[in-house]
Copies of this chain bind each other. A is one copy, B any other.
C-alpha cells in the first residue's frame, strides 16, 4: 500500500456506546494512552497486511441522538467502559468526530421517497470523503438492532429495488437503506448488527456493479464468541450436545432496545446459529435476553450445556461471561474498518467470507469454528499484504477500477 492512507470510518449509530468507544479508543491508541487489547489486527499475524494505521482513520457518521460524543464518552467512563480520565484526554478527537455526525434517516417523514433519502445519505458520505481527502470511506452499521425484515420481490434484483425506492412507499429497512446509500457512494459496507443491511440480492448486485466489498453480520463479542469456541470442542470430541440454554442480562441502550421483543428476535436467532450450524442439527434450549437497567454497560451471560458422553452418561458444562459489550465491540469495529479498507484497496468485491471470524451470522459461509475462522482470516490478511490475495470463498476479485473518491459516483 502506498501513498496516503487517510481512511474514513463512517458509523451509522455514531453516538451509541460502541461508536463512541471506537472513536475514543482510536484516539487513545494514536496517542499511546491506552492498550490495544482486544484488537485482532494488532496481533503479530496481521503486521504485514498493509492495513491503514489508527492515525489514518477519520471518523464521522449518522445519528439522530442529540448528545455529543464528549458527553457520551463521560457516561461510558462512569459506566466503566473506558478509563475515567480518557474522555478529558481525547476531548478534541471526540469533538472533531462529533462535528462530522449528520442526522440519520428520520428525515423520512419529510415526505421524501427512500430513493431521495438514500441520495441525501450518499451525499453525506461523498462530502465527508472529499472534505477530508480520504482515499476511501468504510461505512459500519453499529446502530440498534432492527426487527426481522419482511422480504419482498423488490429485494430480489437491483432494477426491481430501484423502481420500488422511487415509488414513495418504504421498501428497505433502515440498515439496508444505509447499505444502499453507502454502495451508491462507492463505500464498502459492514453490518455489525443482526439487521438486514446488505444481505439482499439487490444489494449484492449493486455491490458487484460498484466493485465494492461488504461484510457482516452481527459482531461476535461475548457469549456467542465463547459458543463458537466451545461448540467445535464438543463436536471434535464426539460429545453429543443435548441442550444448550442461555440467559443474557444487560443494561445500557442495547439492553433497552433488546427488551423490545421484536428486536430481540433478530438477536436470538443470530445467537443460536453458531451452535446449530456447528453441530449440524438443532439443539434443545432457549436463549433469553433480559434488560437489567442497573447493570449499566455491563453484561452477564450464563450458559448451560447438557451433553452425553460414552455409553450415554450425562454431563454438563456451564459458563458465565462478564464483560462490557462496547469494550469488546469497539476494537472489532476498528479491525473491520481497517481490514475492509485494505480489501477494497486490493480490489475485493462482494461478501467478505474471510471475515467470518468477527460475526455471529457470517456472510457466504456457515463455518462457525472459531479457530478455523481465525486461520482463514490470517491467511487472507497475509495474502492481502503480499499483494496476491487468496480468494476467500464467495468473494470475487478483479482489478479495482479506481480508488479515487470519484469511483462511486457513477452508481
A310 touches B25 (CB 8 A): yes
The interface bits of chain A over 38-77 (1 if a CB of B lies within 8 angstroms of the residue's CB, else 0) are 1110110000000000000000000000000000000000
B236 touches A226 (CB 8 A): no
A311 touches B28 (CB 8 A): yes
Which of A111-119, A161-169, A285-293 forms part of the interface with chain B? Answer: A285-293
B316 touches A371 (CB 8 A): no
Assess whether A369 is interfacial by the CB under 8 Å rule. Answer: yes
Assess whether A103 is interfacial by the CB under 8 Å rule. Answer: no
Task: List chain B residues, Cβ under 8 A from A327.
Answer: 309-311, 313, 315
Number of interface residues of A (CB under 8 A): 76
Known: A245-B290, A302-B304. A80 touches B313 (CB 8 A): yes
Residue of B with least CB distance to A39: B238
Residue of B with least CB distance to A81: B313
List residues of A (228-246) whose CB comes within 8 Å of B's CBs.
Answer: 229-230, 232-233, 236-240, 242-243, 245
Residue of B with least CB distance to A295: B306
Assess whether A4 is interfacial by the CB under 8 Å rule. Answer: no
A300 touches B308 (CB 8 A): no
Assess whether A284 is interfacial by the CB under 8 Å rule. Answer: yes
Task: List chain B residues, Cβ under 8 A from A36.
Answer: 238, 310
Report the Cα distance A141→B66, complex, angstroms: 52
Report the Cα distance A24→B308, complex, angstroms: 17
Assess whether A328 is interfacial by the CB under 8 Å rule. Answer: yes
Assess whether A320 is interfacial by the CB under 8 Å rule. Answer: yes
Report the Cα distance A374→B371, complex, angstroms: 10
Report the Cα distance A34→B316, complex, angstroms: 19
Known: A38-B237, A243-B295. A324 touches B306 (CB 8 A): no
A40 touches B237 (CB 8 A): yes
B237 touches A310 (CB 8 A): no
The interface bits of chain A over 311-348 (1 if a CB of B lies within 8 angstroms of the residue's CB, else 0) are 11111111111111001101100000000000000000
Residue of B with least CB distance to A371: B371
B83 touches A312 (CB 8 A): yes
Assess whether A279 is interfacial by the CB under 8 Å rule. Answer: no
The interface bits of chain A over 268-304 (1 if a CB of B lies within 8 angstroms of the residue's CB, else 0) are 0000000000000000111010101111000010101
A315 touches B324 (CB 8 A): yes
A25 touches B294 (CB 8 A): no
Assess whether A150 is interfacial by the CB under 8 Å rule. Answer: no
Task: List chain B residues, Cβ under 8 A from A243.
Answer: 249, 292-295
Contact of A225 among B35, B39, B233, B320 (CB under 8 A): B233
Residue of B with least CB distance to A41: B238
16 additional A-B pairs beyond A226-B233, A236-B371, A310-B328, beta carbons within 8 Å, are: A21-B311, A35-B308, A36-B310, A37-B240, A37-B309, A82-B311, A225-B233, A226-B230, A229-B229, A229-B232, A230-B230, A245-B249, A286-B288, A309-B324, A315-B323, A315-B327
